[in-house]
Chain A
């Protein structure tokens, strides 16, 4: 019996050590980037254009490009994702059709970003003649984030109590009126969570973006202009050894953006859970 206790002690210590190693890695990754990058940040860095291929100056066009690209991608993907989720959760039982849709969504979620990059290049950039542009990048990203939006929205819709639908329908509302006026407003926090997750993914994406939106330095003026995102800018700075300092600064901006997005998501989800518990 004592031997069993001893082996339990050893096993649990090993498991605990593994857990703390994981946490230490997280702390190191974030700490390292912020420690090296925060000193590089200044108003000038954030709000001026890069000079001399990025050796000097700031990252304004990359910030604008990142925001434009992410927002456009979500604008395209959100109606599709929520529509799919409403169909799956409200308009059908589990049939062969829903199985195919779910399988398609799972497969899409597993496709590596470089494949999206290849596809976006050959389809949007070349075949549809959009060229390297914000619109080509945004459409590629929209397909990439679609599975996330579908999953989180469906979960949110399913968490709305069944009785609320029944009350609405018994008052003479159609299914669509019920979805619009009862289900979707109450599923909103969950849907917003999905939007934030998609936003986070769009900010950090590189492989799919570099082949579709290109890497132009200039401030994009329309959806058909090429643009460079923060992640692409960082990749080029780091890989071509243009400026380690500017690379650290850009990495810090990326990490801060990711932290903000995740923090906001958890705050939202926390509020959502509390409301559900009430």
Chain B
């Protein structure tokens, strides 16, 4: 009696555990169901590589958005990755442990602050500074890159700290015993050993930057135009969906779902890369 009820619980829990996979499949199915027929009709080439986006007259080219998304994402990485990784190295290898105990939760606070608040600070503080110092509209690819760079800091930093902590203490001791300075030991041994973990953190940070929406809408300017410099206004893929979803119908709405497909595929590729980087680390040990 008891054993059979236990078997029932096991089956029930297995069913519950499958909900995440089911959710993922349903999400993918509905995004593709709405967007794929459109994508096939217009042709992926025309959709991805035309820079003419005028939904009201039937022109659906997302190249400017694709390019803006790439600019903003790499800009965010240029800001967030060096800062996050340098911070992680300092806190786990050089700084006093007491500092790490305070600094880690403080930086993780950034992950909890709503993205709209970051966007607002970008508008109120950063954009006027950029406008004054470098010219242009202020609300720009540069502003978006800086804001996103800060937003992805906690992701990159906490994964990097974990990766550094996973490097066996004996590696450090071995390098120091061979006469290396602490910095040489960190640079040549520890950082190398933690390399794939640092890479995984950076890729996941990149995923966050690609997918961020509200903060980018507020600071990037949103002009549907090929950006010529980082001081230009730009509209990302995510911003394009969120700005037009409110009123889009018919083909136009399908085009936004097709934009969602592009985003979805991009994120899945990044996640795959990150998890294979993490696996490589696990395999090495």
Which residues of A are at the interface with B, using a C-beta cutoff of 8 A? 4-5, 7-8, 11-12, 14-16, 18-19, 21-23, 25-26, 29-30, 32-33, 79-80, 83-84, 86-88, 91-92, 97, 100-101, 103-108, 110-119, 121-123, 127, 143, 146-147, 150, 174-176, 200-201, 203-207, 210-211, 231, 234-235, 238-239, 247, 251, 254-255, 258-259, 261-262, 266
Contacts and interface: CB of A to CB of B under 8 A. Distances in A.
A234 B20 contact: no
Chain B at the A interface: mostly helix, strand, loop or mixed? Answer: helix
A91 B113 contact: no
B125 interface: yes
Contacts of A7: 183
A176 B6 contact: yes
Interface in B101-143: 103, 105-110, 112-121, 123, 125
Contacts of A147: 20
B23 A143 contact: yes
Interface in B63-96: 82-84, 86-87, 89-91, 94-95
20 contacts: A5-B181, A8-B184, A12-B183, A14-B86, A15-B94, A19-B86, A26-B107, A26-B109, A29-B121, A87-B16, A101-B17, A110-B267, A112-B212, A112-B238, A112-B263, A204-B116, A204-B117, A206-B214, A234-B116, A238-B218
B178 to A, nearest CB: 13
Interface of B: 2-3, 5-6, 9-10, 12-14, 16-21, 23-24, 26-27, 30-31, 34, 82-84, 86-87, 89-91, 94-95, 99, 103, 105-110, 112-121, 123, 125, 150, 153, 157, 181-184, 187, 204, 207-208, 210-214, 217-218, 238, 241-242, 245, 256-257, 260, 263-264, 267-268, 270-271, 275
A115 B264 contact: yes
Nearest to B237: A114
A239 B217 CA distance: 9
Contacts of A87: 10, 13-14, 16-17
A112 B208 CA distance: 7
A114 B275 contact: no
A207 B83 contact: no
Contacts of A262: 105, 108-109, 112
B109 A259 contact: yes
Chain A at the B interface: mostly helix, strand, loop or mixed? Answer: helix
B27 A29 contact: no
Contacts of B184: 4, 8
B31 A119 contact: yes
Nearest to B106: A26
B160 to A, nearest CB: 12
Contacts of B207: 110, 112
A7 B23 CA distance: 52
B18 A101 contact: yes
Contacts of A201: 112
B213 A207 contact: yes
A101 B23 CA distance: 11
Contacts of A12: 90, 94, 183
Contact of B34 (A16, A33, A97, A122): A122
A29 B110 contact: yes
Given A15-B94, A18-B90, A91 B181 contact: no
Nearest to B257: A118
A238 B120 contact: yes
Contacts of B260: 114-115, 118
B198 to A, nearest CB: 14
Given A4-B181, A143-B23, A174 B212 contact: no
A266 B21 CA distance: 30
A79 B15 CA distance: 12
A108 B211 CA distance: 13
B213 A84 contact: no
B24 A238 contact: no
A154 B83 CA distance: 31
A107 B24 contact: yes
A113 B114 contact: no
A206 B18 CA distance: 27
Contact of A8 (B110, B181, B210): B181
A231 B120 CA distance: 12
A256 to B, nearest CB: 11
A16 B94 contact: yes
A278 to B, nearest CB: 20
B211 A83 contact: no
Contacts of B107: 22-23, 26
Contacts of B89: 15
